[in-house]
Chain A
Amino acid sequence: MALINSRSSISQRGRETSPHALGQNSTQRVMSLVIMATIPGLMAQTVFFGWGTLINVIWCSLVAMGCEAAVVSLRKRSVSFYLSDCSALLTGVLLGLALPPFAPWWLSLVAVSFGMVIGKHLYGGLGQNPFNPAMLGYVVVLISFPQEMTTWLPPLGLEGHNNSLTDALFTIFPLGQSVDAISMATPLDVLRENKSLTINELWEANPVFDGMAGRGWMWVNLAYLVSGVFLIWRKVFTWHGPVGMLAAIAIMATLFWSGNGSDSHGSPLFHLLSGATMLGAFFIITDPVSGATSNRGRLIFGAGVGVMVYVIRAWGGYPDGVAFATLLMNMAAPTIDYYTQPRTYGHHKANKGLPKKD
């Protein structure tokens, strides 16, 4: 029978397991969406703090992809296959956004290569890393080079604001030329160092504050917030982590606000719209690899980050704590996972903890 002959055409594929229909989702799509969603924040940062951020993002992305390619080829794997998932690019972009705008090139290099090589690939590559690689790199340079890491540029509208592309380029890559860039502390740093002024006095005395939060910082944070909502709408991640973190920060800031006095830690809105709050809530703690897996777990994970961010800001030794808080909660994520398993269909209650030994 003629049809029998056609067996050859279907035996090429042979027997395959179900499902035969596959969804359109891909890791590449997820990563690209997240990278695209950073554009509003990147633009806001560029507008308020100069070209340095953009240069950093590009530089960090190149370094990240270079590291990925180097390690993958050392492991004798397909470089294009691994680079095409865009995860290395995302790590680079996030680090570029997190580092100070005029951070020198070698600082970014150290941060990115540490995050990529030690934080990600030494653990086995994508999906195996217990810590957020971007935050690991960030913390390494924060501890090693506190001077460079805690100085930011004056935002737009303040004296010393530098929106020159060449200045930014030569500050980051000082090829024989030196630029005298004026740097100044971030609002979170100023508030932390403040011991004598009331909040109102501080706001009047220091031009870095403006409105509800720091000058420029508010807009940067709002930009990330909008992108984050977009990503939730696109179902890239669920609302649980970000809501947990933001709610925890708001609650902590409300509880320990102590009003307008000189011992005030700042208003809840100030905390929500300062520093890396929104970047952290929507782009850092939503890293699925190093976070909790179940939705309840993510809520707890986010809340933990939020609490710790506030604790570090209010009483810790660093002006901002998103990176430390994220790494600390990364450590707790497996435990959270064990205790937040969902209740399976047909079971009276959810399993908790490790499997019991008989």
Chain B
Amino acid sequence: MNAIAKSPHQDLQSPVAGSQVIASSERKIWPLTGGVHPEENKHQSTSRPVSVPPLPETLVLPLSQHAGLPADPLIRVGDKVLKGQMIAKASGFVSAALHAPTSGTVTAIENRPIPHASGFYDLCIILETDGQEQWCPLAPVADYRQLSPAELVEKVRDAGISGMGGAGFPTAIKLAPGTAINTLIINGTECEPYITADDMLMREKADAVIQGAEILQYMLGAQECLVGIENNKPEAITAMRRAAAGKNIDIVVFPTIYPSGGEKQLIQILTGQEVPSGKLPADLGMVVQNVGTAVAVKDAIVDGKPLISRITTLTGDALAAPQNVDVLIGTLAQDLLQYAALKTSELSTLVFGGPMMGFSVDRMDIPVIKTSNCLIAATEDEFPAAPDAQACIRCGHCAEACPSSLLPQQLYWHARAENHEQLMHHNLFDCIECGACSFVCPSSIPLVQYYRASKGAIRTQEAKHAKSERSKQRYEDRLARLEQEKTEKEAKRKANAERAAKLKAAKTTEQTESNANAEEDPIQAAIARAKARKAAAAAGNSEPASARQASDRPLSAKQKELKVQLSMAKAQAKKTERALAAAEASAELKGDKGDIEQLKSNLAMLNEQVSKLQQAFDENSQYSASKDSAEKPVKAAKPALSDNEKKRKVELAMAKAALKKAERALAAAVESNNGNTESFKQAVEACQANIKRLETEASEPPAETAITPSADAKPSAKKAKAPLSDEAKKLKIESAMANAAVKKLQRAIANAGEDELDTLKQQLVAAEQKAAELKQGLESLS
């Protein structure tokens, strides 16, 4: 059998790996790239059976025992909890629940030292045990095949299971990968020296491992299930073979070499495939689960028991009774070491995990968590302090040992130079930090430490870079927005100036006209005007003249008073609006909404007042207009017509304002990376559509006026535009109120939370409908 045939690194093979295929395994296996052979030191802890240490008085349960977000406490200080009761729930997708390992009382939720390479403190639930071991009601599943895989995944999630091999990734996520899984790999490799937790688990609970594997296989729908075990565990291999007999599970044995138990490395050994860089095993149709995880899944499904204990190896020369223990999660290291007869005076280094990838801690009041597979109480002779690093002589032993085929010596070089570009070029992030390079380094250089530091530095730099990019984008967007606003303002100003100029021109013409008619009496003048209008009507345009007439009409005292009140109320409303905007802006920072509600109601009141005044004013002017029309029937139809024009224009202006606001809201949402951007975009689009419609409507009547003027109707045509704008002004006030609601709603939408959004949108639709109805009325009038 040519086991190396598929390997692209024939020349890089460690001489020990390779074709040492165990005869009893018919499956083809592939050699690991690189690898080292540190002293195994496993026999010390396998001479005793797995035992259960006495129940400790206190359990310390960190809320973050897994990869992802910390769990969310469900209990309060002083609560009594039962064994197996969920005491903290998963706080997100990548998170895991936490259960009480025994019954007792929660005495505190506080920061305690946790097992972490940097000696961090983190939030922990402190449980005073009561010794009752009183279980909460459990829900075992008699036949897991009666449940769908999705239901089983839910159960696994509720059981708080995360990977027990070391990384602690929430298992439920791996069990619902979203891609078809062909191969389930159960990892019983345990390649790190000293650790024997998986070995002892397989020896003593092989049936549970196989049962768990079968459940996992069912959940994933995997046709194939492989259990990978290194050949240094003959007892475990025998037990597992016996348990798997007659089942669709293949026990695959391969030569012992570190780090064959890494997920990627195990896949390479068992299947000859490589997990593409940056991808997951699921992308190859594979899922890898630790044997401990398989047992935890079995416990969760078959017995309904959540993950509250695990097998942990207690070893090291400073222990008189090294062994494996079935320990409750949260048990402190000091209790366990005492149980394993710690020789305090000989202890030099306490390591959580294995000697290759574990981390040493400087205290013993640290709890065992779901990922703690080993505690090594080492003597000075066992783990002597690393000698001073010598110069790298680029001997390349590290490159030969690297299971990822990296060039550690080059990475080291570039790491020292902080040359991040080169580090990325040399695939730094494919480093699995197994420590093989540091292990073989003749110059005792802490290579892995350099890579960890560089990875951290690169991540920090990238985060900074992304942040500055975002800020830059935001700044540029703002500039563009300001520019746009400026041009818009400029255009508006120009348009206004033009209109004013035209108005002035029209007025001068009128002046001359009225000057000409100065001596005539009003009736004469009216007749003359009527004549002129008739002439214009003959030319197909009756509107302009009438419009002019309306604007000329002086305001009555009552009207004047109303107008003043109206403008005051409007000013007040505007002020309130501004205050509201400011309050909203600050509320976003402070989260205080009380002021805003107050201001909003104020604004609503003012708006109401404005609209009432407007109505009064309109009625009044309508009345005087009708009075006018009664006196001068010629003019009667004119004001109404001009009102329509004006209304449309104002609507347009309002719609534009609404659009601007919506756009601003959208920009703000985009900047803050808000999830609501889609709804804002829709609002903007709706506004734009509205404007377009209004514009087409508005452009029609003037088009009429533009087309109609004939040579003899010139003066009236000239006048036509000016009165139009005058009327528009009036109409603006009128329909401003109609659109105020729309505007308000737009703003509300911009600030609304998701749940409010729907109701607000409905309101907006209603308001827009109302506006549309009004418009229709106008159209029919015109």
Q: What is the interface of chain A, defined by CB distance below 8 A to chain B?
A: 1-4, 6-7, 9-23, 25-30, 81, 85, 87, 125-128, 235, 237-238, 240, 288-289, 291, 293-296, 298, 337, 341-348, 351, 354-355, 357
B684 interface residue (CB < 8 Å to A): no
Interfacial residues of chain B within 428-457, with CB under 8 A of chain A in the complex: 430, 433, 435, 438-444, 446, 448-449, 452
Known: A7-B362, A127-B392, A344-B277. A1 touches B439 (CB 8 A): no
Interface of A is mostly: loop
Number of A-B contacts (CB under 8 A): 214
- Say whether A11 contacts B383, CB under 8 Å: no
B12 interface residue (CB < 8 Å to A): yes
- Say whether A18 contacts B359, CB under 8 Å: yes
Q: Select which of B119, B334, B426 is within 8 A of A4 by beta carbon.
A: B334
Q: What is the CB-to-nearest-CB distance from B676 to chain A, in angstroms, rounded to a whole number?
A: 32
- Say whether B38 contacts A23, CB under 8 Å: yes
- Say whether A347 contacts B362, CB under 8 Å: no
26 chain-A/chain-B pairs, Cβ below 8 angstroms = A3-B342, A7-B362, A10-B347, A10-B362, A10-B364, A13-B348, A13-B362, A13-B385, A14-B362, A15-B361, A17-B448, A17-B452, A19-B438, A20-B356, A20-B358, A20-B376, A23-B36, A25-B440, A126-B393, A293-B396, A342-B406, A344-B430, A345-B405, A346-B278, A347-B277, A355-B425
B625 interface residue (CB < 8 Å to A): no
Known: A3-B364, A344-B277, A346-B275. A30 touches B442 (CB 8 A): yes
B171 interface residue (CB < 8 Å to A): no
Chain A residues with Cβ below 8 Å from B438 are 18-19, 22
B276 interface residue (CB < 8 Å to A): yes
Chain B residues with Cβ below 8 Å from A18 are 353, 355-359, 433, 435, 438, 448
- Say whether A15 contacts B117, CB under 8 Å: yes
B542 interface residue (CB < 8 Å to A): no
Complex: chain B residue closest to A25, CB-CB:
B442
Known: A21-B193, A25-B441. A289 touches B364 (CB 8 A): no
Query: Given A18-B357, A347-B427, list of 14 further CB < 8 A pairs?
Result: A4-B365, A7-B364, A13-B349, A16-B360, A17-B359, A19-B438, A27-B391, A28-B442, A125-B391, A126-B393, A240-B11, A298-B396, A342-B399, A346-B404
Identify which of A12, A18, A235 gathers the most chain B CB atoms within 10 Å of its CB.
A18
B33 interface residue (CB < 8 Å to A): yes
- Say whether B390 contacts A346, CB under 8 Å: no
Chain A residues with Cβ below 8 Å from B433 are 18
- Distance, CA A12 to CA B350, complexed state (A): 11
- Say whether A342 contacts B12, CB under 8 Å: yes
Known: A19-B448, A26-B442. A345 touches B362 (CB 8 A): no
Chain B residues with Cβ below 8 Å from A9 are 344-345, 347-348
Encode B398-437 as 1/0 by CB contact (under 8 A) with A.
0110011111011000000000011011110010010100
Interface of B is mostly: loop
Chain A residues with Cβ below 8 Å from B278 are 346
Complex: chain A residue closest to B438, CB-CB:
A19
Sort A-B residue pairs by CB-CB distance and give the 4 closest, nearest first.
A19-B435, A355-B425, A127-B391, A346-B277
- Distance, CA A272 to CA B446, complexed state (A): 41
Q: What is the CB-to-nearest-CB distance from A319 to chain B, in angstroms, rounded to a whole number?
A: 31
Chain A residues with Cβ below 8 Å from B279 are 346
B395 interface residue (CB < 8 Å to A): yes
How many residues on chain B are close to A (CB under 8 Å)? 87
- Say whether B425 contacts A345, CB under 8 Å: no
Chain A residues with Cβ below 8 Å from B388 are 81
Chain A residues with Cβ below 8 Å from B391 are 27, 85, 125-128
- Say whether B348 contacts A10, CB under 8 Å: yes
Q: Select which of B264, B396, B444 is within 8 A of A288 by beta carbon.
A: B396
Chain A residues with Cβ below 8 Å from B386 are 16, 22
Known: A10-B347, A10-B349. A342 touches B405 (CB 8 A): yes
- Say whether B407 contacts A294, CB under 8 Å: yes
Chain B residues with Cβ below 8 Å from A87 are 393
B363 interface residue (CB < 8 Å to A): yes
Complex: chain B residue closest to A7, CB-CB:
B363
Known: A25-B442, A344-B406. A30 touches B355 (CB 8 A): no
Q: Select which of A23, A237, A348, A351 is within 8 A of B440 by beta carbon.
A: A23
- Say whether A20 contacts B355, CB under 8 Å: yes
Chain A residues with Cβ below 8 Å from B39 are 21
- Say whether B364 contacts A354, CB under 8 Å: no
Chain A residues with Cβ below 8 Å from B376 are 20
- Say whether A26 contacts B394, CB under 8 Å: no
Complex: chain A residue closest to B437, CB-CB:
A19
- Say whether A238 contacts B383, CB under 8 Å: no
- Distance, CA A15 to CA B393, complexed state (A): 28
- Say whether A289 contacts B394, CB under 8 Å: yes
- Say whether A20 contacts B394, CB under 8 Å: no
Q: What is the CB-to-nearest-CB distance from A15 to chain B, in angstroms, rounded to a whole number?
A: 5
Complex: chain B residue closest to A236, CB-CB:
B395
B722 interface residue (CB < 8 Å to A): no
Q: Select which of A3, A20, A295 is within 8 A of B344 by beta carbon.
A: A3
Q: What is the CB-to-nearest-CB distance from A348 to chain B, in angstroms, rounded to a whole number?
A: 8
Chain B residues with Cβ below 8 Å from A22 are 384, 386, 438-439, 444
Chain A residues with Cβ below 8 Å from B406 are 342, 344
- Distance, CA A13 to CA B334, complexed state (A): 18
B268 interface residue (CB < 8 Å to A): yes
- Say whether B394 contacts A288, CB under 8 Å: yes
- Say whether A289 contacts B393, CB under 8 Å: yes
- Distance, CA A30 to CA B452, complexed state (A): 28
Q: Select which of B11, B275, B360 is within 8 A of A13 by beta carbon.
A: B360
- Distance, CA A357 to CA B422, complexed state (A): 11
- Distance, CA A140 to CA B383, complexed state (A): 47
- Distance, CA A348 to CA B278, complexed state (A): 12
Chain B residues with Cβ below 8 Å from A2 are 344
- Distance, CA A23 to CA B387, complexed state (A): 12
B338 interface residue (CB < 8 Å to A): yes
- Distance, CA A29 to CA B441, complexed state (A): 12
- Distance, CA A293 to CA B409, complexed state (A): 8
- Say whether B422 contacts A355, CB under 8 Å: yes
Complex: chain B residue closest to A26, CB-CB:
B442
B321 interface residue (CB < 8 Å to A): no
Known: A20-B355, A288-B395. A346 touches B452 (CB 8 A): no
Q: What is the CB-to-nearest-CB distance from B397 to chain A, in angstroms, rounded to a whole number?
A: 7
Q: What is the CB-to-nearest-CB distance from A211 to chain B, in angstroms, rounded to a whole number?
A: 35
B673 interface residue (CB < 8 Å to A): no
Known: A25-B441, A289-B393. A295 touches B8 (CB 8 A): no
- Distance, CA A125 to CA B391, complexed state (A): 8
Chain A residues with Cβ below 8 Å from B385 are 13, 16
Chain B residues with Cβ below 8 Å from A27 are 390-391, 393, 395, 442-443
Known: A126-B391, A288-B394, A344-B427. A21 touches B439 (CB 8 A): yes
Chain A residues with Cβ below 8 Å from B422 are 355
Q: What is the CB-to-nearest-CB distance from A81 to chain B, in angstroms, rounded to a whole number?
A: 7
Q: What is the CB-to-nearest-CB distance from A57 to chain B, in angstroms, rounded to a whole number?
A: 22
- Distance, CA A128 to CA B117, complexed state (A): 32
- Distance, CA A7 to CA B440, complexed state (A): 31
Chain B residues with Cβ below 8 Å from A289 are 393-394
- Say whether B264 contacts A15, CB under 8 Å: no
Chain B residues with Cβ below 8 Å from A19 are 38, 355-357, 435, 438-439, 448
- Say whether A347 contacts B430, CB under 8 Å: yes
- Say whether B334 contacts A295, CB under 8 Å: no
Q: Select which of A3, A296, A344, A345 is within 8 A of B334 by beta carbon.
A: A3
Known: A10-B349, A17-B359. A26 touches B444 (CB 8 A): yes
Known: A294-B396, A345-B405. A4 touches B364 (CB 8 A): yes
B319 interface residue (CB < 8 Å to A): no
- Say whether A293 contacts B410, CB under 8 Å: yes
Encode B106-118 as 1/0 by CB contact (under 8 A) with A.
0000000000011
Q: Select which of B268, B350, B440, B452 is within 8 A of A345 by beta carbon.
A: B268
- Say whether B442 contacts A345, CB under 8 Å: no
- Distance, CA A58 to CA B400, complexed state (A): 35
Identify which of B11, B358, B422, B448 gathers the most chain A CB atoms within 10 Å of its CB.
B11
